Amino acid sequence: MQMSNTVNIALIGCGGMMGAHVDGFRQLWEKEIRNFRIIATCDVCEDRAIETAKKISDWQGIAPTVYSDPEVLLKSEKSLDAVDISVLHRLHHSVALPFIEAGKHVTIEKPLAMTMRTGKMMLGAVEKAGVVFQVAENYRRSPQERAFNWAIRSGRIGRLRQIYWIDVGERLWYWGWRDHVEEAGGGWSMDGGVHFADLFRYHVGEVDRLYAISKAYHPVRYGKHETMEDPIPATVEDCTMAVLTFENGVTGTWTSTMSAPGAGFSRRAVYGEHGSLMWGEGLQTRTEKLTTDELVNEYMAQLSESEREKLFPRGITDTVATELNEFVEAIINGTPIEITGMEGYKDEAISLALYESEVLGEPVSIRDIENLKIENYQDRFNKALGVK
């Protein structure tokens, strides 16, 4: 897909995560990657859109136009090429679809959508419109994840056997809409879970099925979490434990809990027949041991100049900046998108499988989630959204 050498972009949803996107655009701009213009900001809270526009004008030199309604933005900005969307999970499909149908390119924060059914609607619209569509999944883009993936593909730890992904701790502070299931669709197993699901698929392969148990041990957050004052009801889970089986025979344990006071810990590792890759530590086999930094240096050294520039343009390693660069390049030059809508759809299927398994009390097939054969957990959200 060919177009002019400058992409006019609007930012929709100027909350916390959009701050990282603005900073990503800034990093590109400061490295003289200026093949885009941010021409509009939009948020239902106009003050946030105004503040975001001011930050952009500081480095872009021109302040974007401010809106509080995406529909008004779409009708008003005749030169608009693309949108960057970061809104409540509940609103993903309803905000994105009008822009897709109008032929605008879209990058949207993960997860793709609140449910598989609304995600499928988005994929259908993208296919019909023929626009560039990217799910803003950034975790795999870090030098460490690229290096770990390279080590796995190079056979450094041999044929994969097991993956362990364990995060244990406590969160008492209130996280706004993310603590309300009707807005978020789920807790950290949804919001952060799609990040981890993407890493599982990237490093290990496709998940075949999983069995999960979820609990809400502490259904309250606090405005003053240090003293546990100003309680606010939370309606999302705070503990999930799952066993996964992959299509290639790898087995996995996935635990995420935010309701474990006292000593917290995190262990993330992939084991193969010859050794392991441990997040935060590095590579260890029967014959060698490398820190993460040493492995990253080895990986970076073997990249060709063109590979390095594609993955880390002008030396930028910030994962949001590099994903945004990929998005703009895809619009201008037709280069591939790594995390397409379908990739985001597959990531989300794994996260939603956690909830569907809890509801059914039995293992579920990821393919059945993708094919909309299991929607027990999602049914109430689809009904609330008016989706059939």
Contact 58, 28 (CB under 8 A): no
Give me the CATH topology for the region 140-305: Dihydrodipicolinate Reductase; domain 2 (3.30.360)
Query: What's the pLDDT score for residue 3?
Result: 60
Question: For strand 82-85 and strand 7-12, is the pairing parallel, antiparallel, or unpaired?
Answer: parallel
Helix-helix angle 116-129:341-360, to 10 degrees = 160
Instruction: Extract the tokens encoding 272.
Output: 């193969």
41-96 per-position pLDDT tens digit: 999 999 999 999 999 999 999 999 999 999 999 999 999 999 999 999 999 999 99
Query: What's the pLDDT score for residue 273?
Result: 98
Alpha helices in 61-142 (DSSP H): 70-76, 92-101, 116-129
User: What sign does the dihedral 172-142-333-8 (CA atoms) show?
Assistant: positive
Taking the mean position of all CA atoms in its chain, how far away is CA 251? Answer: 23
Q: How far apart (Å, rounded) are the C-alpha atoms in residues 119 and 89?
A: 11
Query: What's the pLDDT score for residue 162?
Result: 99
Query: What's the pLDDT score for residue 4?
Result: 74
Spans of all domains in the chain? 7-139+314-340, 140-305
What class does CATH assign to 7-139+314-340?
Answer: alpha beta
Q: How far apart (Å, rounded) are the C-alpha atoms in residues 370 and 79?
A: 36
Give the DSSP letter string of 256-296: EESB--S--EEEEEEEESSEEEETTTEEEESS-EEEHHHHH
pLDDT tens, the chain, 388 aa long: 446 799 999 999 999 999 999 999 999 999 999 999 999 999 999 999 999 999 999 999 999 999 999 999 999 999 999 999 999 999 999 999 999 999 999 999 999 999 999 999 999 999 999 999 999 999 999 999 999 999 999 999 999 999 999 999 999 999 999 999 999 999 999 999 999 999 999 999 999 999 999 999 999 999 999 999 999 999 999 999 999 999 999 999 999 999 999 999 999 999 999 999 999 999 999 999 999 999 999 999 999 999 999 999 999 999 999 999 999 999 999 999 999 999 999 999 999 999 999 999 999 999 999 999 999 999 999 999 999 8
Q: How far apart (Å, rounded) are the C-alpha atoms in residues 236 and 217?
A: 10
Instruction: Extract the tokens encoding 330.
Output: 């895809």
